[in-house]
Structures are given as C-alpha cells and as structure tokens.
Amino acid sequence: MLSNGSYGFNLQGVAIGDGWVDPLRQTNFYGDYLYAAGVQGLHWRETSNWFETQATLSILNNNYEKAAGLINHLIADEQLMANELNNMSIYNFRLTEGEDQEGSINPVWDQFFKNNETKMALGVPAGVTFTPDNQFMYDAFARDLASSYANDLAYLLNSNLRVLIYNGQNDYIVNTVSVLDYLDSLTWSGARSWKGSKQTLF
C-alpha cells in the first residue's frame, strides 16, 4: 500500500502513540529506566538486563517467539509485577496497578469499537465483537512483538508525510528513553536535522 501510494484516501499524516516499533532497541531500557528514576534498585536492574540481553540475542537469531516471551516477562508477568515491582502500573510507574485508572480500557473506546456503524466503516463483520485485552489476539501476534518496523517508519518519514510520535512520560512498557533511542537510530533524509533540532518542553 505504501510503495505504490494507492491509499484509497487522502493520507496526510500518521500518529503513533506508545508505538512498539523497534524491539531490538526498545527492549534494552527497562532495568536502567526504573533504576535511573529511583523506582527500583540494583537487583532489579541486573535481573532486567539479563532478560533484555536474552531477548536481544533471540531477535538476532530470528527466534521471535522466544524473544516475545522474554519481553512479555518484563512487561506483563503478574508474579514479577507483584514480587519485583510492587504491583507498579506498567502505564505509569508512579502509581500501583490499583491506583491507575488510565491503564484500563476506556469505556468510550470500548463502545466505539462495538458500534455497528464503526464495524461497517472498518469492514468488520457484524458478528465479530471487540474484546479489550484479548489475550488470544495478543498471543497470535507474538512474532510481530519481536519484529522491527523501523524501516517502515523511515519509509513514511522519507515520503514527506507528517508523522507524530508520542508516548506517556511515566510509561514503563514504551518508555521515553527507548523511544528516543530508536528514533535517533532511524536512517531517513531528515535525520541530521532531527538530531540537531532544539528540544522544547511542554
């Protein structure tokens, strides 16, 4: 679709929120991120770094399912969250899982995807029902979880489309450090300008 420009609609830009784009780079910051923020100690940092290294090696060896399992252990394992991370919210490290109301599925989105008009517009059969946090679908995309789409993003940038990348500053899964790292590694025509641009705080 991207290569021939036949979008079927007037595509002006793309927004990527909490984007899991390049796991080879984004996987490597969980331990250091929480350690630097003062949320976890050296033990967690060393434990996390071991899993990060194993996941990276699995990706490099094209064992994407194994890599996905290791990544999932760091971001979604209930026992690890309880014992190592004190039930920290994976969407906001300043809160516990019980305190974080933003981390749960927004009821507005839930109703939007279940709406028959939405289904029709998206080409979804009427008998298919949207299920939040669908584990079956998540597991089915295990290879995608460990696959890089950095080249696809670079293609969008080189196509002169407007691209907005955003994520939560306290987000653990897609943390800011990992996003900046993969953005700085992209090869595209505006890379030098991007790296030399002035940062603006909001």
Kindly report, residue by residue over 96-114, the tens digit of the pLDDT. 887 766 655 667 878 888 8
Kindly report, residue by residue over 101-157, the tens digit of the pLDDT. 665 566 787 888 888 999 988 888 988 888 877 888 888 888 899 999 999 999 999
Residues 182, 153: Cα–Cα separation, whole Å? 11
CB 146 within 8 A of CB 67: yes
Collect all residues with Cβ–Cβ distance below 8 Å to 59 and sequence separation of at least 6.
23, 24, 27, 67, 146
Kindly report, residue by residue over 9-34, the tens digit of the pLDDT. 778 889 999 999 999 999 999 999 99
Please state the pTM of the whole predicted model: 0.83
